[in-house]
Structure 1
Amino acid sequence: MKYIIIGGDAAGMSAAMQLVRKDAQADITVLERGEHYSYAQCGLPYWIGGEIESDRKLIARDADTYRIKHGIDARINHEVKAVDTKQKTVSGDGFCLAYDKLLIASGASPVIPDWENGDLKGIYTLKTIPDAKKIIAALGTEKKTVTVIGGGSIGLEVAENLAKANHHVRILERAKRLAMNFDKEMADYIHEKAIDEGIELELNHEIIGFSGDKDGHVTGIRTNLTECPTDIVIVAVGVRPNTDFLRNTDIHLNNNGAIRVNRYMETNVPDVYAAGDCATQYHRLINKDMYYPLGTHANKQGRIAGLNMCGNTRVFMGIVGTQIYQFFDLALARTGLSSREIEEIGYPYKCVQAKLPHVAGYYPTNETIHIRLQFHAETGVVLGGQFIGTKGVDKRCDVLATALYHGMTMQDLEELDLGYSPPFNSVWDPLQQTARRRP
């Protein structure tokens, strides 16, 4: 069986390794348009901030490892520009290859809106190792004014790491607050932390364009409200699926370009699969396919795709919207649906919020954890939760994600048998204490 995989990162190589393990006769070719395989994109902000010393730490396996150890024809600098699903071929500059089964795992690329003078030097995005190298070189050794456009998770991680590296950091955000996937009541804590750490916040700003000097380097950002001087700009306003090369095929795409897949990672075209940031993800709470690009989903979907491609039937069970990231000494976590998302769907719902110690209140290491839960007003089924604190956030978020996966109610949360010892927890876990506060 001749397998071709487009994309050599999380989804693509998760699939490739399943094919290696499950099909002894597999003939596997991976086409990667860049030069790096299986690298940790989520670690890039920590590299540019100096927390991680080298890009070598971010590469799990290089192309040679896949070639020598696993017998995969792992190619670099091979950008696929066309797929012919009738002839079952993929092609690009200087190559045209036939496949029996094809996996599209081409990922996503950062969005740069059509702003004036967007081609000036000093304007960057952060998605790949070469992107990070350019930013590190531009930062140099002297303090810079860096403007991050976008106050989502990537923007906050970049801002944190640059601030820790003693740069003057500004966040420009067109919305009225940072972290729009958190409810306002929780996002307020993020605002406070940003200001406490010396980050300049400019909210409700619509970007018009950039100003530059005679050498073509950015010197400022023009918005609907002001002009902000800057040395460097990092744009973090979202990503778009890398699927333009499929526009002339009969493969079904969503409005944003994401490839529509079923629970087996199959597209509408026989023998063509898709996974990861270029594909849709099934959301369990709303029974609908969404676009929610994260590395955890890409690895799971890639594994499922690889198994199904070689006849080992496996269903992708879907997501519940779990996310966690660091912002200075705070952990910011959420799972399920925010209040805004619930309102868009139209579910009747209620919220309950609490501020509690993450372990026994009398224990000397206790730290405050802020918890907000959303639940169905009629059935009591949990719909989502958000957590912010310095300790204990990840544990509570993961417990709630498990509850969401299984459709549990607020009463079910109360009845969970969770671990207790003063250094680790209260006799009633903070998650359970919050659930008990519901009206």
Structure 2
Amino acid sequence: MTHYVIIGGDAAGMSAAMQIVRRNPEHAEVTTLERGGIYSYAQCGLPYVIEGSVAQTADLVARSRETFREKYGIDARIYHEVQRIDLEKQHVHGIDLERDQAFSIPYDKLLIATGADPIVPPLPGNDVEGVHTLKTIPDLEHLQRELRQHRQVTIVGGGYIGLELAEAFATQQIPVRLVEQNDQLAKMFDDDMAPLLLEEAKAQGIEVVFNKTVTELKAGADGRVNTLYANDEAFPTNLVIFATGIKPNTSFLHDTGIELNEKGAIHVDAQMKTNISNVYAAGDCAMQYHRIKEQHDYLPLGTHANKQGRVAGTNMVGVKKPFQGVVGTSIFRFLRLTAARTGVSEKEAEALGIPAESVFYTGTDIAGYFTDKKPLHIKLVYRTDHHLLLGAQIIGESGVDKRIDVLATALFHSMSMDEFEDLDLSYAPPYNGVWDPMQQAARRVR
């Protein structure tokens, strides 16, 4: 009997656990250790409970702890926080938070799938009442309770989560302010695309403050936040949400010899193995190989976590399966717009020393003679030496999702701009023009 221990009970951890029990049901003993009290829930769906598209937090749970225990025979534990790993003796040590008791569990093979924690800047007042992050279902439920009385919202950070939260509050007619330390929203987009998001924010009544770094939060006499200070400017608010990024939850590994990058993400090979025998890692605590950059990167997304977990579990039972890497595809909705990107941006290509140029094209999502057509703003990035497609960004009201996936597929298979132009894509006037606007953009490269 092989004893598998998995630290983390969400996407990567439970994808791996399911592979183990399905591929090796008679000889596997699986123990999963979850720091919180909920297994396998959709973190990406949290803002949409506020927005109203998801009725309740229970709908975000894919499989309950009881399902894992009773149906699949997994020893799924909750409120078990791992604090230390003895790599020589192959033991995991931690604290049972419910009983306030230490535990120690031996393993034959170990998967670290501890995810990532929200980053809250170390500034005065960051722990007063009314200051939040949004990463877990309990985080969301706490926020929802406060929203019943406090509806003057300030979001710190204009990235994916910040924009999704701003959309959620604006949809519910809750006044919202975004404070961003850079000079644009969505810094993962190039500066010639991001203004489209700012225009939409302003059109929908969202206040946006650029080039401001939050320095302090102050509470009123009731102990609740009432003022946010950013570069000595005061902003009244009674609810603050930090959406300033996440960091790998790996602080308990720093003295183990497990190789980490400068952000604390775990180095893994294609089989999700770390540099330590019998220890694997997957998900938001681990790195991913970027096929376009041709180097390891840190791109924490649910899609990557599920795939890496599946690959890790398969390899842990002795079936070789490599993780094929990522091309950096992401998408989000912001009010009436959808924004998506894949590959590398123009500024990323420049930072990597890749000879690159870009082409910009505005087309329509369907045939241009339809009265209800919507504009599609498309940017393609390509190598100047042999016209290899490097990346794409698309912003529009309709048709963004299907096109970014076509571009992601093209990137995965290292297509040139000429090859992309020759793709046989579907056409009928209610769905597209006779030349897809992506290919219209590619045709402008000569």
Q: 1:196 to 1:225 in 2, by over 3 A?
A: farther
Q: 1:101 to 1:143 in 2, by over 3 A?
A: closer
Report what 2:86 is aligned to. Answer: 84
Query: Given that residues 367 and 389 in structure 1 are in contact (C-alpha distance below 8 angstroms), is that contact kept between their aligned partners in structure 2?
Result: yes
- Is residue 22 from structure 1 mapped to residue 23 from structure 2 by the alignment? yes
Q: Tell me by how many angstroms 1:245 deviates.
A: 1.0
1:331-379 CA distance string (max 9 Å, x none): 1100011111111001111111111011111234421111001100111
Report what 2:251 is aligned to. Answer: 244
Report what 2:72 is aligned to. Answer: 70
Query: Given that residues 150 and 239 in structure 2 are in contact (C-alpha distance below 8 angstroms), is that contact kept between their aligned partners in structure 1?
Result: no
Separation (CA, whole Å) in 2 of partners of 1:117 and 1:359: 50
Separation (CA, whole Å) in 1 of partners of 2:179 and 2:427: 43
Q: Tell me by how many angstroms 1:208 deviates.
A: 0.8
Report what 1:39 is aligned to. Answer: 41
User: 413-422 or 268-277, which moves further after superposition?
Assistant: 413-422
Separation (CA, whole Å) in 2 of partners of 1:421 and 1:363: 12
Query: Given that residues 293 and 344 in structure 2 are in contact (C-alpha distance below 8 angstroms), is that contact kept between their aligned partners in structure 1?
Result: no
Structure 1 runs, 4 residues or longer, greater than 6 Å off: none
Q: Tell me by how many angstroms 1:51 deviates.
A: 2.8
1:145-184 CA distance string (max 9 Å, x none): 1000000010000011011111110000000010001111
1:394-428 CA distance string (max 9 Å, x none): 11100000111111111011000111111111111
Query: Given that residues 123 and 233 in structure 1 are in contact (C-alpha distance below 8 angstroms), is that contact kept between their aligned partners in structure 2?
Result: yes
Query: Given that residues 158 and 186 in structure 2 are in contact (C-alpha distance below 8 angstroms), is that contact kept between their aligned partners in structure 1?
Result: yes
Report what 2:99 is aligned to. Answer: none
Report what 1:263 is aligned to. Answer: 270
Separation (CA, whole Å) in 1 of partners of 2:372 and 2:180: 36
Letter of the 2:418 counterpart: Q
SS of the residue 1:186 aligns to: coil
Separation (CA, whole Å) in 2 of partners of 1:17 and 1:353: 44
Correspondences of 1:256-405 after superposition (within 5 Å): 256-405=263-412
Report what 2:98 is aligned to. Answer: none
Specify which of 211, 214, 224 is matched with residue 221 of structure 2.
Answer: 214
Report what 2:166 is aligned to. Answer: 159
1:94-127 CA distance string (max 9 Å, x none): 2100000000000000000111111111000000
Structure 1 runs not aligned, ≥5 long: none
Q: 1:409 to 1:194 in 2, by over 3 A?
A: same
Query: Given that residues 322 and 334 in structure 1 are in contact (C-alpha distance below 8 angstroms), is that contact kept between their aligned partners in structure 2?
Result: yes
Q: Tell me by how many angstroms 1:143 deviates.
A: 6.5
Separation (CA, whole Å) in 1 of partners of 2:426 and 2:171: 35
CA RMSD of aligned residues (A): 0.9
Specify which of 133, 136, 142 is matched with residue 128 of structure 1.
Answer: 136
Separation (CA, whole Å) in 2 of partners of 1:119 and 1:68: 39
Query: Given that residues 143 and 167 in structure 1 are in contact (C-alpha distance below 8 angstroms), is that contact kept between their aligned partners in structure 2?
Result: no
Separation (CA, whole Å) in 1 of partners of 2:5 and 2:50: 34
SS of the residue 2:273 aligns to: coil
Report what 2:147 is aligned to. Answer: 139
Separation (CA, whole Å) in 2 of partners of 1:223 and 1:373: 36
The percentage of aligned residue pairs carrying the same residue is: 50
Query: Given that residues 148 and 171 in structure 1 are in contact (C-alpha distance below 8 angstroms), is that contact kept between their aligned partners in structure 2?
Result: yes
Q: Tell me by how many angstroms 1:225 deviates.
A: 4.8
Letter of the 2:256 counterpart: T
Query: Given that residues 3 and 26 in structure 1 are in contact (C-alpha distance below 8 angstroms), is that contact kept between their aligned partners in structure 2?
Result: yes
SS of the residue 1:161 aligns to: helix
Q: TM-score, normalised by structure 2?
A: 0.97
1:299-333 CA distance string (max 9 Å, x none): 00000000000011000110000000100111110
Report what 1:6 is aligned to. Answer: 7
Report what 1:187 is aligned to. Answer: 194
Separation (CA, whole Å) in 1 of partners of 2:346 and 2:144: 38
Q: TM-score, normalised by structure 1?
A: 0.98
Separation (CA, whole Å) in 1 of partners of 2:73 and 2:227: 50
- Is residue 57 from structure 1 mapped to residue 67 from structure 2 by the alignment? no
Query: Given that residues 48 and 135 in structure 1 are in contact (C-alpha distance below 8 angstroms), is that contact kept between their aligned partners in structure 2?
Result: no
Structure 2 runs not aligned, ≥5 long: 96-101
Separation (CA, whole Å) in 2 of partners of 1:306 and 1:108: 20
Query: Given that residues 288 and 326 in structure 2 are in contact (C-alpha distance below 8 angstroms), is that contact kept between their aligned partners in structure 1?
Result: yes
Separation (CA, whole Å) in 1 of partners of 2:313 and 2:419: 36
